[in-house]
Amino acid sequence: MKVTMAHGSGGESTSKLIESVFAKHFHNEILDRLEDSAVVDGSSKIAVTTDSFVVTPIIFPGGDIGRLSVCGTVNDLLMSSSTPKYLTCGCILEEGLDLDVLDKIIESMAQTANEAGVKIITGDTKVIENKGGEPGLIINTSGVGFIRKDVEVPGPFNLKGGDKIIISGNLGDHHATILGARMGISNNICSDAAPLVEMVSKLLDNGIKVHAMRDVTRGGLGTVLNEFASSSKCQINLYEEALPVSDAVKDFCGILGLDVMYMGNEGKMVLSVAAEDADRAVSLIRSSKYGENATIIGDVVKVNDDDDIKGVILNTKIGGKRTIGLMYGEGLPRIC
Amino acid sequence: MKVTMAHGSGGESTSKLIESVFAKHFHNEILDRLEDSAVVDGSSKIAVTTDSFVVTPIIFPGGDIGRLSVCGTVNDLLMSSSTPKYLTCGCILEEGLDLDVLDKIIESMAQTANEAGVKIITGDTKVIENKGGEPGLIINTSGVGFIRKDVEVPGPFNLKGGDKIIISGNLGDHHATILGARMGISNNICSDAAPLVEMVSKLLDNGIKVHAMRDVTRGGLGTVLNEFASSSKCQINLYEEALPVSDAVKDFCGILGLDVMYMGNEGKMVLSVAAEDADRAVSLIRSSKYGENATIIGDVVKVNDDDDIKGVILNTKIGGKRTIGLMYGEGLPRIC
């Protein structure tokens, strides 16, 4: 069976679609009320975020748009040192989408939400015409997290001189997966789409002084670190040798001339951590799910005058220095 | 200037677009931080909602997709008897969209948010290819409201025998506007897209016993009242003569054979109110912005046995009775 325009009418067909797909998989005591607004317990400080997912293809090695849509929003909430609690699910379906495919994607969302410990509490479904190509879907997830009272909220403006820069694992996997899938190349690479709940909890529970953290998505590590450097008026020195990249991704980048500094991940984060806590932070991340390749990749030098800001400098394997600027241009469209 | 795929890259072009359009219009102390998650004050009970807007055309008489996207989500929050506080803005832009058009729509969102007393605190922008036709955009707004502690949350399951059914104004305006615009007919009808903050506040501040309230959108009055009737196991008697419809909409419906019972509005709500409060409720709504045509349109009869459920019955002008079932089929696609 296929999605029809009638599924977006707001009438009987919409109700049936919601019951047979969304309510079936998302089932919880809040969502089951199927009200336009979900009423839930709050907290004195909350984090709110939103993200729309337009990735193509919608199913790819290591994940699908459903898993991605939960991971992206959960990770955004985690990065503000909040505990992710609630997600919304706004689906825009293209006419002709196979209902079995939709079912699989919504099931994947439900499983990922379960893994991340969040509840999907309300949703909305619209249908638009398919103007060409394989019918797809777009998912918006917005999220609410409760701010942890025991930790200071870090931010990109909060890097300190002497901090160590830590990455939670290998770079480039999601990007290489999507590009490979779109080119029809079987490159044996899987998306790293993952919720980073465990590693963030461990870091904060153990009092690691995290000065900034950010998930590495669209725009890649280069984009995040540039924002860190300019917001905190500091220079970040990276060591190319230390950057963790799998052999498969390295080979793929080599063939296509891709720069791993600007490739997106969906289950990685980069942190700026007080030097004295850095080794312990790496250990804590490595002992967490999805963190086995965590490592220190650079350090922070504070500068006092605007003129001294050098941004992000990559110390290359052959002893050179390369400035890592902001990504310019298209990157890979519809990577997330 | 037009939207390009590079505007969705997450790199420099995305930053420039966000600064020159979104941050300019939405400007407030929370959004200005431009973090992926906004950290804000919460409350012990919150309402959370999400809605994606896919209306075409994106600008129409009486409003645009921006105004609609704020009204829809604000009204959903109001219907759960919460005070709307925060909105997110997730934009999916089609390549080639004129930046002046985008600017106009985002300005309209900002103005409507201001009117409704909510802050847009975080957002996300993606760009997708335009596969044909005029390039458009899709907006998801998710919202957080604080549950009022002084009132009971009503729901569609809460109708009581003897209740009066009240509509806050004329039916069908938004639907007739969109259909007219799409057919290229100038029908002198304007969309009613409006935030219903004032009328809901007045009702609740004055202790009106509201047993259920719902905004009338996709699927129209018939769809909402069917849900009321089946959730509360009651019969709703409507009086055709009492239904407020403007002459222009009546004429438009007459020509095209449209049934106003299933036409969507975007600035109207229907309530089930204790009989003794009904006249006062109508007065309060009439004294509010967008409520000048509020009126009682029917009443509620409680039934005891499942077999007795009659759903929604329309008592016609010529003395007949007509069952108003659930809308079946497509309705008007992309009305909101």
Average pLDDT over residues B313-321: 94
Spatial distance between the Cα atoms of B141 and A259, rounded to a whole number of angstroms:
35
Which of B15, B90, B331 is nearest residue A52 as measured by Cβ atoms?
B90
pLDDT over 70 (residue B153): no
pLDDT of residue A307: 63
**Is residue B203 predicted with pLDDT exceeding 80?**
yes
Q: Which of residues 183-222 of B touch A (CB under 8 A)?
A: 214-215, 217-219
- Give the model's confidence band at A197: pLDDT under 50 very low, under 70 low, under 90 confident, else very high: very high
The pLDDT assigned to B310 comes to 72
Query: pLDDT tens for residues A125-142?
Result: 999 999 888 999 999 999
Exposed (0-12), middle (13-18) or buried (19+): which is B332, by Cβ within 10 Å?
buried
A57 touches chain B (CB under 8 A): no
Domain with B14, as residue range(s), is: 5-147
Q: What pLDDT does residue B132 have?
A: 87
Set of chain A residues whose Cβ sits within 8 Å of the Cβ of B126: 52-54, 334
pLDDT at residue A308, rounded to an integer: 65
Q: What's the token pair of residue A114? A: 């379960």
Residue B312 lies in a domain: yes
Q: Could you tell me if A39 and A133 lie in one domain? A: yes
All residues at 6 or more sequence positions from B318 whose CB lies less than 8 Å from its CB, including other chains: none
Q: Are residues B315 and B177 in the same domain?
A: yes
The CATH number of residue B61's host domain is: 3.30.1330.10
ipTM confidence? 0.94
Does B140 lie in the same domain as B170?
A: no
Contact check, Cβ <8 Å, A327/B11: yes
- Secondary structure of residue B153 in the 3-state scheme: coil
Find which of B17, B30, B39 to mutate to test the A interface (most A CBs within 10 Å of its CB): B39
pLDDT of res. B309: 66
Q: Are residues B128 and B170 in the same domain?
A: no
Check whether A121 has a pLDDT greater than 90: yes
Whether A249 and A121 share a structural domain = no
Distance between the two ends of chain B, CA-based, in angstroms? 27
- Computed over every residue of chain A, the mean pLDDT equals 94
B265: contact with A, CB 8 A cutoff: no
Average predicted confidence (pLDDT) for chain B:
94
pLDDT class of B192 with cuts at 50, 70, 90: very high
Q: What is the pLDDT of residues A42-66, one digit of tens each?
A: 999 999 999 999 999 999 999 999 9
B174–A contact, CB cutoff 8 A: no
| A86 in contact with B, Cβ within 8 Å | yes
Residue B268 has pLDDT above 90, yes or no: yes
- Percentage of residues in chain A having pLDDT higher than 70: 98
The position carrying tokens 């002459």 is: B247
Cα separation of B259 and B220, whole Å? 10
Inter-chain residue contact B92 with A155, CB threshold 8 Å:
no
Give CA A291 to chain center in angstroms.
14
Q: Using CA atoms, how far apart are residues B129 and B121, in angstroms rounded to an integer?
A: 27
Domain assignment present for residue A333? The answer is: no
Note whether A61 and A130 are same-domain residues. Answer: yes
Is the residue at A332 inside a domain? no
Radius of gyration (Cα) for chain B, nearest Å?
A: 21
Question: Which of B8, B13, B330 is closest, CB to CB, to A9?
Answer: B330
Q: Is residue B220 over pLDDT 80?
A: yes
CA distance linking residue A57 with residue A77, whole number of Å: 26
Both A186 and A302 in a single domain?
yes
Q: Which of B50, B270, B327 to mutate to test the interface with A (most CBs of A within 10 A)?
A: B50
The DSSP-derived string for B175-200 is: HHHHHHHHHT---S--------HHHH
Which residues, listed in sequence order, are joined to residue B192 by a DSSP beta bridge?
Answer: none
The DSSP-derived string for B217-281 is: -TTHHHHHHHHHHHHHTEEEEEEGGG----HHHHHHHHHHT--GGG---SS-EEEEE-GGGHHHH
Number of domains in chain B: 2
pLDDT band, residue B54 (cuts 50/70/90): very high
Q: Do the domain assignments include residue B227?
A: yes
Does A124 contact chain B (CB < 8 Å)?
Answer: yes
Last residue of a domain, one of A147, A176, A206: A147
**Structure confidence at residue B308 (pLDDT):** 66
The mean-pLDDT minimum among A253-257, A275-279, B24-28, B154-158 falls in B154-158
Q: Tell me the CA distances in angstroms from A160 to A156, A224, A228, B192, one per residue in order.
A: 10, 16, 11, 53
B266 touches chain A (CB under 8 A): no
Whether A111 and A176 share a structural domain: no
% of chain B with per-residue pLDDT over 90: 84
